[in-house]
């Protein structure tokens, strides 16, 4: 905690005095921290940065960490948005995912959270071998019944060197079914659209006025400062990232020689990031903005490449914006990669 605040103090010029509009505690599990630790961090940030009066301050929380006392205390120190890792409301799925919480905690502690916080987002996972379409509908319906204003929904992915990867490789559990994942994603878009949710980014859905301001800043390519082990920062020209090891991080901060790496982005990298992140959003990729930033040749190159996607109903053109259709959302990464500059 002391090293984090010390880093915050040392890096206070990184964003060149810009107003801080969002603060996000996570990933990892910051809800295991003592409230006094969080208060110490928030105090350090407010001391060193010009934080907006209406700043969005999000805390990631595991359902099993939530109590009424903690909720009230978090609210009292300035947290105004919770991101709760529910994943599923089904006991068998949570056990299969090796989650620390159970279905009863997911439901009960979400009820507690709704009493104290109006701005809540929850994570839900689709496409697991155990999840039928009917179960997926029940998970989504339950979230809607709780009047959760923001949902982040992700397809189950299997990472190498994880227990799940080993189980699948040894055929002790079923592999991911890509067709089922695609079907459940299309169903999700339909169900949430009918309930008034805005599909404003591939994995994110919000009631009007409840978009994640923090994540939206990433998708707009805005500058940000990351503090702590593994944290990434971006200033418009370069990216940098802190060492992942806690002890090396603390040692570097205390010795005024922070352990971090960085890369200066090339024009091609900037263009490819612009394509990738803008296509994922509801607004889409602005060809006018692209031309202004990267020149008319790149605009013409993109326009010539999108015809096949338009003909296959994967994209549509709205004024100067290229937007993905529902089917296009399924292939967002693939479409972006085909538009990348070499």
Sign, CA dihedral 197-280-213-94, equals positive
d(CA 322, CA 310): 9
Query: Which is nearest to 20 in space by CA: 233, 224, 229?
Result: 224
- Predicted model pTM: 0.94
Write down the residue that tokens 């003909």 correspond to: 311
How do strand 120-126 and strand 150-155 relate by DSSP bridges?
Answer: parallel
Q: Which residues contact 76 (CB under 8 A, 6 or more apart)?
A: none
Structure tokens at 307: 């015809």
Q: Could you tell me the mean pLDDT of each successive run of 10 residues in the chain, 342 residues long?
A: 97 95 93 97 97 98 96 98 97 89 94 97 96 98 97 90 74 81 97 98 98 96 96 96 97 96 96 96 96 96 95 95 96 96 86
pLDDT score recorded for residue 98: 82
What residue spans define the domains of the chain? 19-218, 224-264, 267-339
pLDDT score recorded for residue 286: 96
The values of phi and psi at residue 156, to 5°, are -60, 125
Cβ count within 10 A of residue 129: 14
Q: Cis peptide before 303, with omega less than 30 degrees from 0?
A: no
Q: In which element (H, E) is residue 95 found?
A: helix 91-96
The hierarchical CATH code for the domain 267-339 is 1.10.10.920
Structure tokens at 74: 């978090």
| Cβ contact 290:302 at 8 Å | yes
d(CA 129, CA 142): 20
Angle ∠(303,305,306) on CA atoms, nearest 5: 70
Query: Which is nearest to 152 in space by CA: 201, 93, 100?
Result: 201
Q: Which residues contact 160 (CB under 8 A, 6 or more apart)?
A: none
| Cβ contact 285:320 at 8 Å | no
- Using alpha carbons only, how large is the chain's radius of gyration in Å? 21
pLDDT score recorded for residue 157: 85
Sign, CA dihedral 2-122-49-235, equals positive
| Cβ contact 47:55 at 8 Å | no
Sign, CA dihedral 165-171-173-176, equals positive
d(CA 231, CA 242): 5
Query: Which is nearest to 108 in space by CA: 89, 87, 127?
Result: 89
Asked if the 19-218 domain carries CATH number 3.20.20.70, the reply is: yes
pLDDT score recorded for residue 123: 97
Structure tokens at 145: 């019944």
Angstrom distances, CA of residue 239 to CA of 22, 104, 209: 19, 42, 30
pLDDT score recorded for residue 176: 80
Which 3 state secondary structure label does DSSP give 120? strand
Chain centroid to Cα 35, Å, comes to 24
Angstrom distances, CA of residue 60 to CA of 94, 231, 253, 260: 18, 15, 25, 25
């Amino acid at each position: 905690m002391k090293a984090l605040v010390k880093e915050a103090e040392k890096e206070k010029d990184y964003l060149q005095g810009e107003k801080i509009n969002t603060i996000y505690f996570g990933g990892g599990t910051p809800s295991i921290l003592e409230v006094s630790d969080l208060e110490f961090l928030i105090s350090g940030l407010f001391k060193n940065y010009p934080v907006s009066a209406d700043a969005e301050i999000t805390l990631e929380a595991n359902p099993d960490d939530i109590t009424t006392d903690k909720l009230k205390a978090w609210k009292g120190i300035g947290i105004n948005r919770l991101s709760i890792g529910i994943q599923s409301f089904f006991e068998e799925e949570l056990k299969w995912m090796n989650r620390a919480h159970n279905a009863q905690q997911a439901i009960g502690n979400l009820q507690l959270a709704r009493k104290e916080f109006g701005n809540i987002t929850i994570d839900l996972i689709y496409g697991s071998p155990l999840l039928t379409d009917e179960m997926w509908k029940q998970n989504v319906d339950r979230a809607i019944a709780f009047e959760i204003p923001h949902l982040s929904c992700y397809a189950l992915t299997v990472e190498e060197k994880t227990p799940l990867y080993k189980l699948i490789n040894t055929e002790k559990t079923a592999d991911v079914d890509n067709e089922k994942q695609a079907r459940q994603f299309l169903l999700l878009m339909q169900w949430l659209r009918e309930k008034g949710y805005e599909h404003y980014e591939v994995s994110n859905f919000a009631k009007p006025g409840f978009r994640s301001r923090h994540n939206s800043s990433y998708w707009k390519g805005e500058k940000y400062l990351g503090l702590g082990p593994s944290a990434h920062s971006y200033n418009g020209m370069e990216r940098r990232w802190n060492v992942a090891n806690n002890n090396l991080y603390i040692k570097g901060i205390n010795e005024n020689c922070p352990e971090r790496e960085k890369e200066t982005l090339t024009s091609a990298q900037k263009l490819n990031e612009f394509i990738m992140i803008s296509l994922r959003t509801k607004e889409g990729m602005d060809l006018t903005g692209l031309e202004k930033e990267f020149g008319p040749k790149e605009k013409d190159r993109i326009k010539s490449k999108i015809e096949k996607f338009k003909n296959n109903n994967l994209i549509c053109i709205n004024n100067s914006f290229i937007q993905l259709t529902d089917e296009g959302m399924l292939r967002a990464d693939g479409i972006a990669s085909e538009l990348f500059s070499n």
